[in-house]
């Protein structure tokens, strides 16, 4: 286990369960976001995302979920993502211990053509849970979106005693249309399941306040901690893979080098220095299909 700290942000390289047990005090965290490995056979830098059985995977999940709940303050919120096929089990488990306020569908379209003989998967489920329905953070005004009826169609509600224009903004519903992270986006990092800044922005702004502590137990590219830093929250990110920890160290500006290696942002194929030899095909950019096809199979 290794710990890296700068100002209000801490990266802990190690196993989530071990770290949660030994390094995070009970009832100390305001907001938890967990996006664990999915048990669908993805490759996290060589670490196989596949358990012996579904039961073993769920047992493992229940262990870190229990720990997360213990670490959460009584006023805290817990967002949990998982593969669609595991979510029913996790939903039942979470329901026993917390109040589920929303079952969010993160929806994205894809120009890809992966599914040819079934209806392709274009969403990921997220549970928004809290400990105490009478006392939790929800900053509705910080996450308002355009209400199409009011803002675009400018309809008047004539059922009111005095006809009144419909609101032009609203709290988002539970279907969130947010682009997934694509290779050409500046936020792209080399990781198979990076979550978008926009997604974490909504979660963090809604369910925490400046100065609050945000925890991500499977940090990956550290999007959660990165967004927490932008919005003046404190953060702890746990990640087991050294290569992903290096992404976190750079993204959070905790370090510019690691074990003598400069931590530079990924150079995109289309950014690489041009050699006049066109035969080298340095500018061949992987298309969306090749980057994302792995994700579409089963998630």
Ligand X SMILES: C[S@@+](CC[C@H](N)C(=O)[O-])C[C@H]1O[C@@H](n2cnc3c(N)ncnc32)[C@H](O)[C@@H]1O
Contact footprint for ligand X (CB under 6 A): 15-16, 35-37, 44, 47, 191, 193-195, 218, 220-221, 223, 238-241, 244
CB atoms within 10 A of CB 233: 23
Give the nearest distance from C-beta 30 to ligand X in angstroms.
Answer: 18
To the nearest 10°, report the CA torsion of 276, 277, 280, 285: 30
Q: Is 208 exposed, middle or buried (0-12, 13-18, 19+ CB in 10 A)?
A: buried
Give the relative orientation of helices 54-71 and 16-23 as an angle to the nearest 10 degrees.
20
Q: Do the bridges between strand 257-258 and strand 261-262 make them parallel or antiparallel, or are there none, so unpaired?
A: antiparallel
Give the nearest distance from C-beta 61 to ligand X in angstroms.
Answer: 11
Of 72 and 203, CB closest to ligand X? 203
Give the nearest distance from C-beta 216 to ligand X in angstroms.
Answer: 7
Give the nearest distance from C-beta 48 to ligand X in angstroms.
Answer: 10
Instruction: Quickly list H helices, the chain.
Output: 16-23, 54-71, 87-97, 197-207, 223-230, 242-251, 288-296
Of 157 and 243, CB closest to ligand X? 243
Scanning the structure block, which residue is given the tokens 């589920």?
100
> Cβ-closest residue to ligand X?
220
Give the nearest distance from C-beta 157 to ligand X in angstroms.
Answer: 41
Residue 297 tokens read as: 């199979």
Q: Do the bridges between strand 47-48 and strand 72-81 make them parallel or antiparallel, or are there none, so unpaired?
A: unpaired
Of 193 and 235, CB closest to ligand X? 193
Give the nearest distance from C-beta 19 to ligand X in angstroms.
Answer: 7
Of 144 and 228, CB closest to ligand X? 228
In terms of Cα–Cα distance, which of 23, 8, 75, 63 is closest to 238? 23
Of 77 and 194, CB closest to ligand X? 194
Query: How far is Cα 144 from Cα 23, in angstroms, rounded to an integer?
Result: 36
Of 38 and 136, CB closest to ligand X? 38
Query: How far is Cα 171 from Cα 297, in angstroms, rounded to an integer?
Result: 32
Give the nearest distance from C-beta 44 to ligand X in angstroms.
Answer: 4
Q: Is 39 helix (H, G, I), strand (E, B) or coil?
A: coil
DSSP class of 269:
G
Give the nearest distance from C-beta 239 to ligand X in angstroms.
Answer: 5
Of 91 and 187, CB closest to ligand X? 187
CA 25, 15, 11, 67 torsion-angle sign: negative
Of 169 and 190, CB closest to ligand X? 190
């Amino acid at each position: 286990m290794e710990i890296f700290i700068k100002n209000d942000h801490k990266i802990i390289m190690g196993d989530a369960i071990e770290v949660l047990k030994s390094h995070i005090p009970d009832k100390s965290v305001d907001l938890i976001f967990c996006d664990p490995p999915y048990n669908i056979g993805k490759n996290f830098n060589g670490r196989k995302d596949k358990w012996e059985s579904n039961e073993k995977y769920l047992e493992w999940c229940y262990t870190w979920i229990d720990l997360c709940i213990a670490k959460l303050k009584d006023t805290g919120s817990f967002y949990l993502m998982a593969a669609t096929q595991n979510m029913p089990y996790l939903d039942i488990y979470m329901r026993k211990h917390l109040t589920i306020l929303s079952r969010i569908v993160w929806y994205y379209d894809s120009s890809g053509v992966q599914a040819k003989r079934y209806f392709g998967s274009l969403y990921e489920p997220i549970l928004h849970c809290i400990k105490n329905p009478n006392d939790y953070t929800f900053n509705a005004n910080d996450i308002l979106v355009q209400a199409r009826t009011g803002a675009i169609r400018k309809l008047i509600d004539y059922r009111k005693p005095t006809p009144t224009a419909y609101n032009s903004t609203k709290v988002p519903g539970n279907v969130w249309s947010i682009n997934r992270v694509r290779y050409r986006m500046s936020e792209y990092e080399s990781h198979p399941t990076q979550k978008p800044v926009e997604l974490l922005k909504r979660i963090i702004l809604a369910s925490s306040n400046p100065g609050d502590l945000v925890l991500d137990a499977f940090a990956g590219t550290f999007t959660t901690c990165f967004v927490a830093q932008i919005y003046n929250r404190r953060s702890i990110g746990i990640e087991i893979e050294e290569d992903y920890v290096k992404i976190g160290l750079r993204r959070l500006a905790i370090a510019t080098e690691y074990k003598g290696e400069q931590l530079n942002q990924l150079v995109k194929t289309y950014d690489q220095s041009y050699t006049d030899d066109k035969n080298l095909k340095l500018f061949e950019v992987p298309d969306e299909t090749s980057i994302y096809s792995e994700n579409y199979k089963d998630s």
